[in-house]
Amino acid sequence: MDDDAPDEVTVAPEPAVSPTLQRLWGRGEARRRGPKPALSLDQVARAAIALADAEGLDAVSMARVAESLGYSSMALYRYVASKDELLSLMADTAVADLPLPVDHGSDWRAGLEAWTRAQIDGVLERPWFLELPLTTVRLGPHRVRWLDHAFRALRDVALTADEKLQIIGLLAQHVLGEGRVVVETQRAAAVAVRRAEGLPDDTPQSALDPDALERANPYHDFETVLRHLASPEAYPHLVAALAGVEPPPEGPRHEDEWEDGFDVGLQIVLDGIEAFVEQRTALRRR
């Protein structure tokens, strides 16, 4: 055997890609001969999004989407294989409508903060996004573009790709957590106000009394529970921590008060990430 012969390069076979991912990424099979398809995947996804925006995610079904487009359910299955695939298309198309934040250059912290805030705003704009099943919604090109933008913010940070991905995943979980708290408390308050005032279930939240919504918020009596129902004997450390702390004033809170916003939580998360970055980069300088 010739020792000088170049080693053969083994090329790994391309992995099998599911039909759903092929359609999401526009890499489906070449169109067969015949009439041009009457619908596009974008039209189908946007019809489903319009339903979710108007009536919530529960209203989205293959039948309802097909009806809104003027087609039968069977006709819709020529474009989308299943409800799960439809949800994947909805998720990716909804993200496409969300403008990416501006680039903050080497200020990675400002970049990640803007990235996180933009996604929380997007979730609050379309609360049904929080109900999408994480186990079935696949990654499409628009969602990956947001992932790419986060890596862009971290491009000058001396971390491994895995470490950067862990940071991005942590912030993504923060988006879901903050969004879910806000959306679910608002929904619960709205339901309570509609029932108390005898209003129809479809009365929009914007038409409800803001003060009544504030009082119906499940966390409205949080301070009362801690200060008047939790006894020092049963909860000594909690009561000791609250001793001497002035209770918040009565009435609606201002938007700039930290208790109402997610700013403090986000800053704490970013502080932790910054400490992690400093620790990892210091270790690599040794």
d(CA 95, CA 143): 6
Under-50 pLDDT residues of the chain: 1, 30-34, 254-260
Q: Extract the tokens encoding 116.
A: 């996180």
Assess if residue 80 is contained within a domain: yes
Q: Contact 28/43 with Cβ under 8 angstroms?
A: no
| CATH number of the domain encompassing residue 82 | 1.10.10.60
Place of tokens 């403008």: 99
Residue 227 belongs to some domain of the structure: no
Confidence at residue 252, expressed as pLDDT on a 0 to 100 scale: 52
Q: How far are the Cα atoms of 226, 227, 238, 246 from residue 243, in angstroms, in the given order?
A: 11, 9, 9, 9
Q: Where are the beta strands (DSSP E) in 200-269?
A: none
Which residue in 107, 219, 199 sits closest to 152, CA to CA?
107
Give me Rg for the CA atoms of the chain.
25
CB atoms within 10 A of CB 159: 17
How far is Cα 143 from Cα 3, in angstroms, rounded to an integer? 49
E strands of the chain, at which residues?
Answer: none
Q: Three-class SS of residue 31?
A: coil
Structural domains in the chain (count) = 1
User: Is 157 a member of any domain?
Assistant: no
- Collect all residues with Cβ–Cβ distance below 8 Å to 131 and sequence separation of at least 6: 56, 57
pLDDT at res. 258: 38
pLDDT at 200: 92
Residues 44, 53: Cα–Cα separation, whole Å: 14
The whole-model pTM stands at 0.82
Instruction: Tell me, yes or no, whether 143 lies in a domain.
Output: no
Helix residue spans in 126-209 (DSSP H):
141-153, 161-197
> What sections of the chain are H helices per DSSP?
19-24, 41-55, 62-69, 73-76, 83-96, 108-125, 141-153, 161-197, 210-216, 222-224, 236-242, 263-285
According to the model, what pLDDT value does residue 192 have? Answer: 93
- Please give the residue range of the domain that contains residue 81: 38-96
Amino acid at 280: R
Q: What residues contact residue 206 under an 8 Å CB cut-off, 6+ apart?
A: none
Q: Which residues of 209-242 are buried (b: 16+ CB within 10 A; e: fewer)?
A: eeebbeebbeeeeeeeebeeeeeeeeeeeeeeee
pLDDT (tens digit per residue) in 199-235: 998 888 889 999 999 999 988 888 888 888 888 899 9
Is 130 part of any domain? no
Q: Which of 171, 95, 149 is nearest to 126 (CA)?
A: 95
Is 19 part of any domain?
Answer: no
In a domain, 124, yes or no: no
Residue 59 in any domain: the answer is yes
Asked whether the beta carbons of 20 and 138 are under 8 A apart, the reply is: yes
What does the pLDDT read at residue 243?
Answer: 83
